[in-house]
Structure 1
Amino acid sequence: MDVKVKELIVTAVQDGIELGEMTFVDSGSFYIIDHTGVTDAARGLGVGKKLVAAFVEHAREKAMKVLPLCPFAKAEFEKNSAYADVLYGN
């Protein structure tokens, strides 16, 4: 699975088929995750987790904090203490 962060979207693609996407907003001082979606066929494969993990790495590379407003992303941040360094407000 190939996960890429582009302008304001993170995509997960396998064999040329998009399995999921996560959208975000750049506020200038931090990122806001506003949506995470996975196709029905890819549910249960960990695609959403991979999208969040790739975005966290992107935020670290850019020295940005992340405000996860999307319920899925918010839950991933709450479950994974390794993401605390990029969590907005920490």
Structure 2
Amino acid sequence: MEPIKHEEGIFYMEKDGRRIAEITYAPAGDGTINANHTYVSDELRGGGVAGQLLDALADYAREKNLKILPSCSYVVAKFSRGSKYDDVNALAK
């Protein structure tokens, strides 16, 4: 498995110089970031890569004391399935 890399606004994996998976975010104000896009290449789908990227984003949010606003359909679905991310979910009650 390729390592997860981080640059401002994106966590991603590369292979042979091409991006094969990513989750992107943007500042959303008031200590929140908007998780707005997730992509995993066909070769990695079904292998839990999107979850690893979301975990990396959640860890980043915890480190920076941020909340995540889920607008990407993948993140919305993951946030609705349990409490693993409640501490960083901007919409959690």
* Interval of TM-score (by shorter of Structure 1 and Structure 2): 0.7 to 0.9
Between 24-33 and 64-73, the greater mean CA deviation after superposition: 24-33
Q: In the alignment, what sits opposite 1:59?
A: 61
| 1:83 shift after superposition | 0.6
Separation in 2 of the partners of 1:14 and 1:46? 17
Using the aligned pairs only, state the percent identity.
36
Between 72-81 and 37-46, the greater mean CA deviation after superposition: 72-81
- Asked if the contact 1:4/1:54 (under 8 Å) is kept, the reply is no
Q: In the alignment, what sits opposite 1:37?
A: 39
- Asked if the contact 1:5/1:58 (under 8 Å) is kept, the reply is no
Q: In the alignment, what sits opposite 2:81?
A: 79
* Higher helix proportion: 1
1:60 corresponds to which letter in structure 2? R
Runs of 4+, deviation exceeding 3 Å: 13-18
Counterpart of 1:88 (choices 87, 90, 93) is 90
Q: Pairwise CA RMSD of aligned residues?
A: 1.6
What runs of 5+ residues in structure 1 fail to find an aligned partner? none
SS in 2 for 1:86: coil
Separation in 2 of the partners of 1:53 and 1:85? 12
Asked whether 1:49 is paired with 2:51, we answer yes
Between 80-89 and 34-43, the greater mean CA deviation after superposition: 80-89
SS in 2 for 1:18: strand
| 1:73 shift after superposition | 1.1
- Asked if the contact 1:38/1:47 (under 8 Å) is kept, the reply is yes
How many positions carry a matched residue from both structures?
Answer: 90
